[in-house]
Amino acid sequence: MMHQTKRMKLRNGIGLTCVTTNQSKTSCLSAMLALPLGEKERSLSALLPFVLRGSCRDYPGQQAVAARLDELYGARVEPVVRKRGEAQLIGFVADVIDERYAMQGEGLFADTAKLLASLLLHPAAFTKEVVDREASQLCARIAAQADDKTTWAIRRMYQHMCEGEAYSLSELGESEEVKRITPEQLTAQYHHVMRTAPLELFYCGSLEPEQAACQLEQAMEAYTAPTEPVRPVFDAPRAPLHEGIREVIEEEPVVQGKLTIGLRSGITVFDDAYPAMVVFNASFGGNTASRLFRTVREQMSLCYYATSMTEKTKGVIAVASGIENDSEPQARAEILHQLEEIQQGGLTSEEVESAKRTVMASLRTMFDSPLQLENFYQTQAVAGLTETLDELIERIGQVSMADVTAAAQKAVPDTVYFLKGAGV
């Protein structure tokens, strides 16, 4: 086997997932703190990693941190804010040349881990200048979300579809709240997060799990387990608060309209039917051999692109397409027609087997990317799941056509969101 995955607990209660592999020239390390997305301090939490990244007790100031990273062969430590279901993940992702390829040899990963730990556990005092600067940049990131209209339309659809649910909220917070953050508020939030949020680490590289764990325990020796631990709760999928399909039209000066349809499946990564839902999604719109791509785009020319994607911890699906304004009724009707046909058992065995091969091949490519593995395993960790990528691939290989049809029948159209091009 070219890789080995092991789940561990460090002495001070930190969760650790290790993927031992010689396939990459870089090692990856991440540290994530998981918070309920619906917390009123969401904007404060989103700002924290950006402020923490700039300075710490051992390396005061951005220049000192940058100089230390240069000494570590150009290692990177980047702040991260993610939304996973109804959880907000904040922390750092680092990568550094794997010790097999570095002249410095043994100690390169350990030193990178110590720097990351110092940024997280020994922050410099939060000054008004730093907080205001990072708050301004975070506001710019929030505003920039609307620049990519494809992802923006999906985000807007979910905001309407999941109104009243934490999933509708932005992981980056709200600009008006971010602008008002003071150093005192951010300091209080830092202590609140460290007191309540469990810490999860991920490592991918050539070190054996026990060796990596030992080095990480030394780096994180100052960490104290939360005294009031609060894990994000992944509730059972909720029914819509409205009857029938909700329709929302918004207009912006865009050349290409964005038609996005939200489905509620109720099938999440916690369910036995999850692999079948993954295969259904691939058959429906998840790749270039899918029904939506071949029929709605290629054969009928109703859209510029058509794709579907699932949120595995929420049990929802987004169907995204780019269309001409005049094509909206036909495109919507055909997308829903293809869904209905699949639900009635319209997939062929060749389509299902092709979708399974595509999904399994895509998952296997993650072993070539430590950052993709980090994303996968940190999501597993925050959800409290121990299934490995290999085990998921094996389960997908066992999915039958009947399983896919049954999963498809759970996908219920909920919200149709149309970002209409106006004035162009």
Q: Is 260 helix (H, G, I), strand (E, B) or coil?
A: strand
In this prediction, what percent of the chain has a pLDDT beyond 90?
Answer: 89
Distance separating alpha carbons of residues 16 and 198, to the nearest angstrom: 11
Question: Are 130 and 55 within 8 A, CB to CB?
Answer: yes
CA atoms within 13 A on the CB side of 399: 35
In Å, the largest CA–CA distance within the chain is 64
The pair of structure tokens assigned to 388 is 């490995």
Distance separating alpha carbons of residues 146 and 343, to the nearest angstrom: 34
Burial (CB count within 10 angstroms: exposed 0-12, middle 13-18, buried 19+), residue 346: middle
Rg over alpha carbons for the chain, rounded to the nearest Å, is 23
Distances (CA, A) of 147 to 127, 168, 322, 373: 31, 19, 15, 28
Q: What is the pLDDT of residue 234?
A: 78
The number of residues making up the chain comes to: 424
The pair of structure tokens assigned to 309 is 């994607």
Distance separating alpha carbons of residues 360 and 392, to the nearest angstrom: 9
CA atoms within 13 A on the CB side of 145: 17
Distance separating alpha carbons of residues 388 and 401, to the nearest angstrom: 24
Model confidence at 302: pLDDT above 90: yes
Lowest mean pLDDT among 188-192, 243-247, 303-307: 243-247
Q: What is the pLDDT of residue 103?
A: 66
Question: Are 290 and 355 within 8 A, CB to CB?
Answer: yes
Over residues 225-242, the mean pLDDT reads 79
Q: What is the pLDDT of residue 241?
A: 65
Distances (CA, A) of 42 to 20, 159, 264, 310: 34, 16, 25, 24
Burial (CB count within 10 angstroms: exposed 0-12, middle 13-18, buried 19+), residue 256: middle
Over residues 187-196, the mean pLDDT reads 97
pLDDT in tens, 327-338: 999 999 999 999
Q: What is the pLDDT of residue 104?
A: 55
Over residues 354-379, the mean pLDDT reads 96
pLDDT in tens, 403-424: 999 999 999 999 999 999 886 5
* Cα 171 to the center of its chain, rounded Å: 10
Distance separating alpha carbons of residues 56 and 33, to the nearest angstrom: 18
Model confidence at 242: pLDDT above 80: no
